[in-house]
Amino acid sequence: MSAQILYGKSFVDSAKQKLRSLLSQRSAKIVTVGFDNADWQQYCKSLCVTARDLGVQCENVILDRRASADDVCAIVSALSDDVTVNGIVVQQPLPDEYKSVLSCISPYKDLDCLNPASVADMYYGRAGVRPATPLAVLELLRFYAIDLDGKNVVIVGRGNAVGKPLMLMALGCNATVTVCHTHTKQLARICRGADILITACGKPDLITADFVTSSSIVVDVGLGFVNGQTHGDVADEVYGVCKAVTPVPGGVGPVTRIMLFENLLRAIGN
């Protein structure tokens, strides 16, 4: 038996079409804010390509390397007050001394769900933006008509970007949620009990055939590297055992980018 492969592309194509028709008529604009870091600038460039493809203006603010938290906050606050700006994306992660910057992003323009008020809205399950990667996981599952209600969802990884928000969001979808991590005992046994197993560790081949059954749906959010190639947490042998699996690359990854624009849509709605 071979697993169904849950590709992200078909979802991305249909989501882009929807977003293009909803966003292009709104003259929306997003602004990225970050330092002159090669990875970040590459990310911004690629984000702006997607933005323009969706009919959204995109600008990058490059910070002076000597900018203090107060300086950055002033810039972000001005963007928050600027009625021509609909969405703000601040470089992540920033060093700890810039923590206060996140409170300066208007919760109504906070495309990455970084402001504490946005986090609290997510925590309480209130309307608002959601972190892009866990949102991508849930939307991709929804695209493939995989319902979470009453299902046993096991999440491997408890990071702030994926595991922790996904735990709350999956709970909001009425899943019974278990979160595993480096201190978990009998990890394989717990994972085998999952209807839906979501892994976000960045440890290539962590999830082997003994972690799944023929009814497991596996969502691979891991991003590691093997011989210079991106590689998920899920070993190849799993593809021969489980019911369905999202590939890496080509699964959750491409969906994540699009979710920032789902948040833009929510932000504009506010």
Q: Which residues bind its own copies (CB under 8 A)?
A: 103, 116-117, 119-121, 123-124, 149-150, 152, 158, 160, 164, 167-168, 171, 174-181, 183-185, 190
Does 93 sit behind a cis peptide bond, omega within 30 degrees of 0 on the bond before it?
Answer: yes
Q: Which is nearer to its own copies, 29 or 266 (CB)?
A: 266
Nearest to 265 by CA among 164, 143, 127: 127
Nearest distance from C-beta of residue 170 to its own copies, angstroms = 9
Comparing CB distances to its own copies, the nearer of 57 and 103 is: 103
Q: Closer CB to its own copies, residue 12 or residue 119?
A: 119
Task: Give the CA-trace dihedral at 21, 14, 248, 40, to 10 degrees.
Answer: 0
Give the β-pairing of 229-231 and 224-226. Answer: antiparallel
- Closest listed residue to residue 112, CA positions, set 140, 93, 95: 93
Give the closest residue to 148 by CA, choosing from 156, 137, 157, 164. Answer: 137
What is the C-alpha end-to-end distance of the chain, expressed in Å? 47
Q: Which lies closer to its own copies via its Cβ, residue 80 or residue 178?
A: 178
Of the pair 19, 76, the CB lying nearest its own copies is at 76
Q: Give the Cα separation of 167 and 156 in Å (integer).
A: 10
* Residue 30: how many other CB atoms lie within 10 Å: 26
Least CB distance from residue 200 to its own copies, whole Å?
14
Q: Work out how close the CB of 14 gets to its own copies at its nearest, in angstroms, rounded to a whole number.
A: 28
* Smaller CB separation from its own copies, 167 or 248: 167
- For residues 23 and 56, what is the distance between their CA atoms, to the nearest angstrom? 7
DSSP state of 188: H
Min dist CB 15 to its own copies, Å, is: 27
How far apart are CB 73 and its own copies at their closest, in Å?
15
Least spacing, CB of residue 185 vs its own copies, in Å: 5
Query: By C-alpha distance, which of 88, 138, 108, 155 is closest to 256?
Result: 138
